[in-house]
Chain A
Amino acid sequence: MAEIALSPPLSAFAALARHGRHGRAEGPAGVVVEELRGLALATVIARKGRAADLAAACRASFGVEPASTPRRTAKDGLAVVWSGPGQWLAVAEKGHPLTAGGADGLADALRGALAGLASVTDQSDARGALRLSGPRVRDALAKGLALDLHPRAFRPGDAASTWCALIDVQLWQVDAAPTYDLLVARGFAGSFWHWLEASAAEFGLEVR
């Protein structure tokens, strides 16, 4: 019989994000959303008492110092997002050299650099990732997110793990536009998307 092949990987929102304009059609879109595909993700949890060594090793190997508060630090397409005490999510952008051999290359690299300092787990397929922006993005997010995203309270680089429309999410602010990146467990992508579409509809939603 013929050689068995795997069809290409599917991102979490691949079947949901219909490109184009949704909801209110007049005027500029209030909310712009784009799925971030091809991110490599890995959970990094410090071994007992090794958080400081881990930070130093991370800086030495990748030029990124993991924050000890809910912040995202990044360099050259590799970010480390605080996600709990002694715990971070490493995020490599699509096309990052570490992921040349596949998304799990990130976890491999971290495992190598942080041996004995951290437990590293590949999570590249565990999340769906969205980049959200637009003049009404805060108003739309407020319909599910109880977090205060006012510029006085949440700034570029700030990160949070929280609950949005009954779904666990992790998000961080990318820039002051404002732009936010938001991760949701892959299995909840459908419910999250339905909520997002409904919540952004009155402002006009553009899916890129």
Chain B
Amino acid sequence: MTRSETPSPLPFRLPAGGLIDRSTEIRFSFDGRSYAGHPGDTLASALLANGVRLVGRSFKYHRPRGLLSAGPEEPNGLVELRAGARREPNTRATVAELYDGLEATSQNRWPSLRFDLMSLNQLAAPILSAGFYYKTFMWPAALWEKLYEPMIRRAAGLGRAAEAPDPDRYEKATAHCDVLVVGGGPAGLAAALAAARTGARVILADEDFRLGGRLLAEAQTIDGRPALEWAALAEAELEAAPEVRIFRRTTVFGAYDHGAYGAVERVNDHVATPPAYEPRQRLWRFVAERCVLAAGAIERPLVFPGNDRPGVMLAGAVRTYAHRYGVAAGREAVVFSTGDDALRTARELAAGGVTVAAWVDARREPPDALREAVQELGAPFYPDGAITAVHGRTSIQAVDIRTPLFQTTLECDLVAMSGGWSPTLHLTSHLGGRPVWDEALGAYRPGAPPPGMSVAGAAAGGMTLRECLATGGRLGLEAARAAGFEGTDAPPPVAWPESAAAATLWRGPTGKGKAFVDFQNDVTDADLELAEREGYRSVEHAKRYTTLGMATDQGKTSGVNAVGILAGLRGQGMAETGTTTFRPPYTPVSFGAMGGHHRGKEFRPTRRTAAHAWAAEQGASFVESGVWLRAEWFTRPGETDWMQSCAREVATVRGAVGICDVSTLGKIDIQGPDAAALLDRLYTGTFSTLPVGRARYGLMLREDGFVFDDGTTARLGAEHYLMTTTTANAGKVMQHIEFALQWLWPELDAQAVSVTEQWAQFAVAGPRSRELLARVVAEDVSNEAVPFMAALPVTLPGGVRGRLFRISFSGELAYEIGAPSSYGEALARALMEAGRDLGVAPYGLEALNVMRIEKGHVAGGELNGQTTARDLGLQKMVSTKKDFIGRVMAQRPALVAPDRPALVGWKSADPSVRVSAGAHFLDVGAAASMENDLGYVTAAAWSAHAGGWIGLGLMKHGPERIGETVRAWDAVRGRDTPVTLCAPCFYDPQGERLRG
């Protein structure tokens, strides 16, 4: 901050007043130029104080635009905030809190804001009218990609996203309360106070960096004192209340079912760099018993020719700039209004030394009191009048004023317009509530708000301070009572009566120039006329056709005017014309906040096995398998290619012994008198006949008859089984069992619980595996003691209780050995130590895959949710003697049709040509067409044993065509390879090795 020299007064800063710290000057830049402002300013107020009127270019016509508003509804003043990796596009200058060093850049202009070549679009305006995208670019389609889209992208587009990863942190959090108060203006403060005094847990959220709402922007009195004093007392009381949490800079952007609300807290958007460990933004979920919506109101612009010129602003915003920021938005102002409220703007301007050049009132007979009050300010008063033209391009020079009696051109540089105020009722509509037109109010009121929500103050249509304080206090207390708290009614603070009388004017007389309805999307009254003429009669259709209300501001300043104009065109009332509903978010929410902690490596949780560190030490490359990280292969020094490592690992297992961490397989402990009966109903095969101490392969179907999952299940005791599932389906199978036990067959006395995490388990596979295990396990592991498919408890070194299963996926003599997970890493190391002289090595998923393909075991490629037991050649595992899940549907004719693709093995005729999963089987000479498609390759691997590329596939009549040559046609990789069909087992078909 600079205090070295007395700052020269900024050209449009009023000599006094405003909630800014004039003793401190802070510097900021806009489009590379340096400016001064004060703490308490927004970027918008500081730009205006410096006389910067032109802040952006419009989306379609690239018209010069200035600030329209002073709040979140701003359609024009969108800038890129910050630079580099922290650059954030489409930020509203009106809510960007000024800080020292703030950098902002205008957007949507080229090469510069003042001289924008794209504004030539204005000359092409006739073809850019409503429906332009739909009409112009429909044909020919080829031009869309090459011409139209690049052109539109360059010409239109909003700001530029940062190109580097956002260096800041974001968070998500939940907070609970009895009463959520949305909005910290007079109604919200009153509601929060009333609720807090009952002892209820209250959350008060306001999007501004300072509580007070319109009280910050108006000269008002409450209880005979300046309103801000009342607000300060209220704030102090709330701060001191133990069960109240105040969230400043927090926008409640969405209302969701059953009392959940979404909010974004801009924790550190008001500093250049967030302090260490603090997030930039925090996404909140508020869970509230009750909610009082006190979101205020948004002023409507008037639709008249030239109403988008820089310097035409909302009257309420003009007085916000003057009162809150001590900034004159111009030097000579014309007020154009349909109501009395703008009088406060005129007074505020006059008090600040700004000339009020005229008051143009759209009403035929405005109140006499208003006329007198305006004339007291020295301004001419024009009833039944309108502005019909605005002179000047990047700033206003003069306006044309027309009344039935005369017409004049008046010099000025500011138009303060007011078309009345619309309640900010968005949150009442997020769950489908439709706003209701109130003719007397001249605005939409909230319809039925969601359960638990009540609406106070201006958001409910009570536009005076009196009403805000009264309804806020009453509804705050009611909300607390509804949440179970007790409190006594208290009279509301006293505010002077004021006139909120207003009429509606949806569009002024036509004149020279465009009259904009939606500033951000450049939709004019003429566009709405065109839409109406072309038959887009429903508001929803007209909105989509013209794109009105579909910009980032969601039509906050345009929606109601558009309905009014459409109603006028059709000669019907507002109520019959309808309205649009609103959807979250109320204002844009960044993806960063939505993601919170979960991005990059933390995008989703990862799961590591107990021996992960050991695998990493061994050179493992990890792959995500579901959320688990599993070793794909282990790179040894000198190996440059994963296939080399994989081939070595296969050779190790086939020739000596290998170790593979299989802890990720789902393990489910099933006990109880009916455990066997349960398994018989879950699996196609019979498990009640399985002897204790033995394991059996099981196949599970879904109720629709397709294969769901497979795995080996062991019987540990008469009433005790241990089921294993695939890694991918572990969670789903657990849910399936719980569903069976709780809903399908609650009469079964069986209990199931996941023990996946309790046991670390390793496959020990290869001809020397028994030798290795004998050194680790205390018990006899001979073929007699531990035959194929045996399952038994064993004792590990130090007396640790382990489990041993003699099962094989690789086709070799193999076991799986389990230890409690705390010993997982220790067991891996012990197995390596014990097998050192046997040539042991760890192997990963790729080697596992090669060996299971060689053995023809089905896995993920074949268990793809579209295959039946019969397709996989597993029909003999399907019992016909009992009911089990999927039995009936598996008999459907289409599931047993003879031409269903069935499991087959294949071998490439040319060992040098690679075949990949996904290639389609075609007959030799057949064209690659859907009719000729025979099926596809589900798994492929290089097999040293077979001396070439082998694999599995699903093929029509495949099992009947063994020995024939077909093609594996792979359009993605541009390959077309002859393959010979064979039985799906390439290695030790008699199973001698695994039983040895």
Contact = CB atoms under 8 A, between A and B. Distances in A.
A121 B755 contact: yes
B610 to A, nearest CB: 7
A9 B278 CA distance: 37
Given A6-B826, A125-B821, 20 more contacts: A1-B837, A4-B797, A4-B834, A6-B827, A9-B826, A10-B610, A10-B825, A10-B826, A45-B751, A121-B753, A123-B753, A125-B759, A125-B823, A142-B175, A144-B597, A146-B285, A166-B598, A190-B608, A191-B602, A199-B597
A101 B676 CA distance: 32
B924 interface: no
B797 A48 contact: no
A9 B671 contact: no
5 contacts: A119-B669, A119-B672, A121-B669, A191-B607, A202-B278
Contact of B753 (A7, A43, A146): A43
Interface in B667-689: 669, 671-673
Contact of A187 (B607, B801, B819): B607
B287 A5 contact: no
B236 interface: no
A202 B176 contact: no
Interface of A: prevailing SS: loop
Contacts of B169: 198
Contacts of B606: 190-191
Interface string B162-178: 00000001011111100
Contact of A166 (B605, B755, B821, B827): B605
Interface string A170-208: 000000000000000111111110110011011000000
A30 to B, nearest CB: 11
Contacts of A127: 757
Interface string A5-35: 1111111000100000001100000000000
B823 A6 contact: yes
Nearest to B663: A187
B547 interface: no
B751 A119 contact: yes
B779 to A, nearest CB: 14
Interface string B737-751: 000000000011101
Nearest to A191: B605
Contacts of B33: none
A52 interface: no
Given A10-B822, A121-B755, A126-B758, A47 B607 contact: no
B602 A186 contact: no
Interface of B: 169, 171-176, 201, 276-279, 285, 287, 596-598, 602, 604-610, 613, 628, 669, 671-673, 747-749, 751, 753, 755-759, 775-776, 796-801, 819-827, 829-830, 833-834, 837
A78 to B, nearest CB: 20
B976 to A, nearest CB: 43
A158 interface: no
B823 A9 contact: yes
Nearest to A147: B174
A192 B830 CA distance: 29
Contacts of A118: 751
Contacts of A144: 597
A8 B827 CA distance: 10
A195 B796 CA distance: 35
B593 to A, nearest CB: 13
A25 to B, nearest CB: 9
Contacts of B671: 45, 119, 121
B833 A4 contact: yes
A148 interface: yes
A122 B667 CA distance: 13
Contacts of A123: 753, 755, 757-758
Contact of B825 (A4, A7, A119, A150): A7
A145 B173 CA distance: 8
B959 to A, nearest CB: 40
B171 to A, nearest CB: 5
A191 B753 CA distance: 23
A152 B171 contact: no
A36 interface: no
A55 interface: no
Contacts of A4: 775-776, 797, 830, 833-834
| For the complex of A and B, 7 pairs with smallest distance between CB atoms | A9-B822, A119-B671, A191-B605, A187-B607, A48-B749, A119-B751, A126-B757
A24 B276 contact: yes
Given A4-B830, A194-B602, A187 B171 contact: no
Nearest to A37: B822
Given A24-B277, A122-B758, A143-B172, A9 B607 contact: no
A11 B672 contact: no
Interface string A129-156: 0000000000000111111101011000
A75 to B, nearest CB: 24
A198 B628 contact: no
A3 interface: yes
A165 interface: yes
Interface in A35-67: 43, 45-48
Contact of A150 (B176, B597, B602): B176
Contacts of B610: 10, 125, 186
B823 to A, nearest CB: 5
A136 B823 CA distance: 35
A189 B757 CA distance: 11
B719 to A, nearest CB: 8
A195 to B, nearest CB: 6
A143 B822 contact: no
Given A143-B171, A143-B173, A195-B597, A11 B755 contact: no
Given A45-B753, A167-B605, A187-B609, A146 B174 contact: yes
Contacts of B755: 121, 123, 126
Contacts of A119: 669, 671-672, 751, 753
Most chain A CB within 10 A, of B279, B606, B608, B829, is at B608
A69 to B, nearest CB: 19
Contacts of A166: 598, 604-605
Contacts of B776: 4
